[in-house]
């Protein structure tokens, strides 16, 4: 195929390729079509992985690619644009993995003149990669290896200045814990499906980025005017004041009220101690807030934790390390949360493996004693996991799916994951739409692609109708398809109601390409379908079992709260899944149809998928 290269505004059109084995780098232009058809961020990342990742490799081998990708809206003067995608083949799930992290590294990468950086190979010893505009240096990192993320970033800031954007891993990433994340700015964490472990497997302790260039925009004046208006709309919104008080922590009370607050390893959707960990309790302890660059609604709420240190709280962290493990003291939850940030562990997966361990201990499926709410035992387990020092630490470092497969004895019946990624903090015994959102999320069970639960609870909660599948797809398009590819934070829209209409306009001003919703939805569908093709390729086959929710929600009803007795119905779930597949143009195995691939300009995957699974028309 002959590719045309980018001469457009809004993108730089360049990828920086870094070979850590050889300590070499080069910059390369990428095809114009990739920008047009995938926009950037997640879209660009999956296109790169499809094209360049050797088939079937071990995600922790040097062959894996570790990608940082921004989009045309990243870092601009518009609300909450300081975000970037970190992506790779996941060591936790074996499929496509990514996360969205707020960091100055996102802004600096755009200033440095790249749309993405791709790392391959493995350094023979610990290294920090330093990108300064078009120059790359490899700084030995023996002195940093073993340090926690906060200390690593502090030392690198001393060396490279306060303006530098820095992404790093902690001991968990170094030790290849399968749910280790990438950390920045002490409380930003990205890449739930083990992106930190991939960095660790490459001996890449940190990436430092500084750039001095401009954003190469089509109409910078209109971007600024429109972006400034959007900032004002954020501040003037009705929900702004309360958001600034509680941020995502307001969700604890809502989740309790709606019976979706995970408790005791997702056995229940209500928690008797919720008042000890809710947004109002957080307000009593709050000492400040911080967040990502370019944001005027910063959501990282800081408290002094039980060890008198600063911990930055979010709903997911608190529910998973609080109610899900039976802990009702926010200052103690704060300690576990801070440890996760410093060691570089994903809090959601961590809360899930701790919950699984408590249940396995209770059922005597493992020879280890840890009880619900046992803070000291959980505290020690967090460290044992990050350092993989002990038998139990090593076991839990594999994630719930890996751990239950090793332990056996029905312990997979209470391993709460989809496709190997631990479920985030919404119980779905009584929320079929959210269960579908988790089960079909392109990275495994994360809420980020379709947080349909608030709509579901407020509407026809117990139905499994076609409209629900359509709603999941609508949200996946906007959240997982678009915000992840033009790359900005979705909270201005989700949480304070910023009009979505800003985004096509801003994209058009930034790039000069006319965007409307039809065009954007087509991009989103293309990205979703390519990610599905990538999963099938890497799994070497496919069946609808991959798109099923955790067994617990189907088999074991809730026993507490107003919805006691509720559970998902398997036949109805299957019919909901059929609607979903049909609306996406996938067959009843969850494999994209040939006609869908062709309509979405994904002809280049047809032959390979056909050989693996046999495509339907």
Binding site for ligand SF4 (CB under 6 A): 80, 102, 291-292, 295, 297-300, 489, 491
Let me know how long the chain is.
617
Is the separation of the CB atoms in 369 and 361 below 8 Å? yes
Nearer to ligand PTT, 431 or 615 (CB): 431
Distance of CA 24 to the CA centre of its chain: 29
CA distance 186 to 167: 10
Nearer to ligand PTT, 423 or 568 (CB): 423
Nearer to ligand PTT, 100 or 511 (CB): 100
254 token code pair: 């809502």
Least distance to ligand SF4, CB of residue 8, Å: 26
Number of residues that bind ligand PTT (CB under 6 A): 31
Partner in contact with 596, chosen from ligand SF4, ligand PTT, none, beta carbon below 5 to 8 Å by kind: none
Q: Which of 37, 168, 305, 346 binds ligand PTT (CB under 6 A)?
A: 346
* Residue 477 in the binding site for ligand PTT (CB under 6 A): no
If you ran DSSP here, which 8-state letter would residue 268 be given? B
* Residue 186 in the binding site for ligand PTT (CB under 6 A): no
Nearer to ligand SF4, 299 or 558 (CB): 299
Least distance to ligand SF4, CB of residue 230, Å: 13
CA distance 87 to 75: 19
Partner in contact with 187, chosen from ligand SF4, ligand PTT, none, beta carbon below 5 to 8 Å by kind: ligand PTT
Subset of 436-455 contacting ligand PTT (CB under 6 A): 448
Give the three-state DSSP class for 177: coil
* Residue 314 in the binding site for ligand PTT (CB under 6 A): yes
**HEC secondary structure over 521-560:** HHHHHHHHHHHHHHHHHHHCCCCHHHHCCCHHHHHCCCCC
466-475 vs 432-440: helix axis angle to the nearest 10?
A: 50
Beta pairing partners, 26: 17
Nearer to ligand SF4, 69 or 292 (CB): 292
* Residue 347 in the binding site for ligand PTT (CB under 6 A): yes
Mark 398-437 with x for binding to ligand PTT (rule: CB under 6 A) and - for no binding: ----------------------------------------
Half-sphere CA count of 262, side-chain side, radius 13 A: 27
Q: Which of 39, 92, 101, 436 binds ligand PTT (CB under 6 A)?
A: 101
Least distance to ligand PTT, CB of residue 491, Å: 5
* Residue 100 in the binding site for ligand PTT (CB under 6 A): yes
CA distance 40 to 513: 14
Subset of 284-303 contacting ligand PTT (CB under 6 A): 292
Is the separation of the CB atoms in 130 and 59 below 8 Å? no
Q: Residue 37: which of 606, 601, 596 has the closest Cα?
A: 601
Q: Residue 302: which of 329, 326, 330, 274 has the closest Cα?
A: 330
Partner in contact with 295, chosen from ligand SF4, ligand PTT, none, beta carbon below 5 to 8 Å by kind: ligand SF4
| Phi/psi at 303 (5° precision) | -130, 165
The radius of gyration of the chain from alpha carbons, rounded to an integer in Å, stands at 22
Beta-carbon contacts of residue 350 (< 8 Å; ≥ 6 apart): 179, 320, 321, 336, 340, 382, 385
Nearer to ligand SF4, 50 or 243 (CB): 243
Least distance to ligand SF4, CB of residue 491, Å: 4
Interface residues with ligand PTT (CB under 6 A) are 83, 99-102, 181, 187-192, 248, 292, 312, 314-317, 340-341, 345-348, 448, 483-484, 489-491
């Amino acid at each position: 195929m002959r590719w045309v290269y980018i001469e457009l505004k809004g993108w730089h059109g360049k990828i920086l390729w870094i070979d850590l084995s050889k300590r070499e780098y080069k910059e390369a232009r990428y095809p114009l079509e990739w920008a047009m058809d995938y926009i950037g961020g997640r879209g660009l990342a999956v296109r790169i992985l499809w094209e360049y990742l050797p088939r079937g490799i071990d995600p922790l081998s040097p062959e894996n690619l570790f990608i940082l990708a921004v989009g045309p809206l990243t870092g601009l003067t518009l609300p909450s644009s300081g975000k970037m995608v970190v992506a790779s083949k996941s060591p936790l799930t074996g499929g496509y993995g990514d996360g969205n992290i707020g960091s100055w590294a996102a802004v600096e990468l755009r200033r440095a003149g790249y749309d993405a950086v791709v790392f391959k190979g493995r350094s023979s010893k610990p290294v920090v990669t330093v990108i300064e505009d078009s120059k790359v240096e490899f700084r030995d990192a023996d002195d940093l290896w073993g340090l926690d993320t906060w200390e690593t970033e502090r030392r690198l800031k001393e060396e490279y200045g306060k303006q530098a954007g820095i992404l790093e891993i902690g001991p968990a990433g170094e030790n290849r814990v399968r749910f280790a994340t990438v950390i920045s700015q002490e409380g930003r964490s990205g890449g739930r499906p083990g992106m930190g472990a991939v960095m660790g497997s490459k001996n890449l302790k940190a990436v430092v980025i500084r750039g001095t260039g401009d954003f190469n925009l089509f109409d910078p004046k209109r971007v600024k005017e429109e972006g400034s208006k959007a900032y004002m709309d954020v501040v003037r919104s009705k929900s702004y004041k309360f958001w600034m008080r509680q941020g995502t922590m307001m969700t604890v009370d809502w989740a309790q009220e709606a019976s979706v607050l995970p408790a005791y390893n997702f056995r229940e959707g209500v928690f008797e101690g919720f008042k000890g960990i809710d947004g109002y309790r957080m307000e009593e302890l709050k000492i400040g807030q911080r967040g990502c660059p370019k944001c005027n609604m910063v959501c990282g709420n800081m408290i002094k934790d039980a060890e008198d240190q600063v911990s930055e709280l979010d709903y997911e962290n608190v529910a998973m390390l609080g109610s899900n493990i039976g802990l009702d003291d926010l200052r103690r939850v704060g300690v576990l949360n801070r440890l996760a940030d410093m060691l570089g562990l994903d809090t959601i997966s961590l809360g899930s493996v701790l919950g699984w361990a408590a249940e396995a201990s209770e059922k005597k499926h493992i020879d280890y004693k840890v009880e619900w709410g046992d803070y000291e035992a959980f505290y020690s387990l967090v460290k044992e996991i990050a350092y993989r020092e002990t038998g139990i630490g090593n076991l839990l470092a594999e994630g719930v799916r890996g751990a239950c497969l090793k332990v056996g004895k029905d312990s997979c019946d209470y391993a709460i994951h989809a496709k190997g990624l631990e479920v985030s903090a919404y119980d779905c015994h009584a929320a079929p739409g959210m269960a579908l959102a988790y089960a079909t999320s392109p990275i495994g069970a994360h809420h980020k692609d379709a947080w349909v639960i608030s709509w579901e609870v407020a509407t026809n909660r117990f139905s499994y109708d076609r409209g629900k599948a359509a709603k999941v797809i609508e949200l996946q398009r906007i959240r997982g398809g678009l915000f992840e590819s033009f790359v900005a934070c979705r909270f201005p829209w989700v949480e304070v109601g910023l009009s979505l209409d800003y985004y096509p306009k801003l994209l058009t001003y930034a790039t000069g390409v006319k965007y409307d919703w039809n065009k954007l939805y087509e991009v989103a569908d293309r990205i979703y379908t390519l990610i599905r093709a990538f999963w099938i390729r890497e799994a070497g086959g496919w069946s609808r079992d991959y798109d099923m929710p955790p067994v617990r929600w189907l088999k074991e009803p809730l026993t507490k709260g107003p919805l006691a007795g509720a559970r998902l119905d398997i036949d109805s779930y299957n019919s909901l899944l059929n609607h979903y597949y049909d609306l996406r143009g996938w067959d009843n195995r969850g494999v994209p149809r040939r006609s869908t691939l062709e309509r979405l300009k994904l002809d280049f995957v047809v032959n390979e998928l056909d050989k693996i699974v046999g495509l339907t028309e």
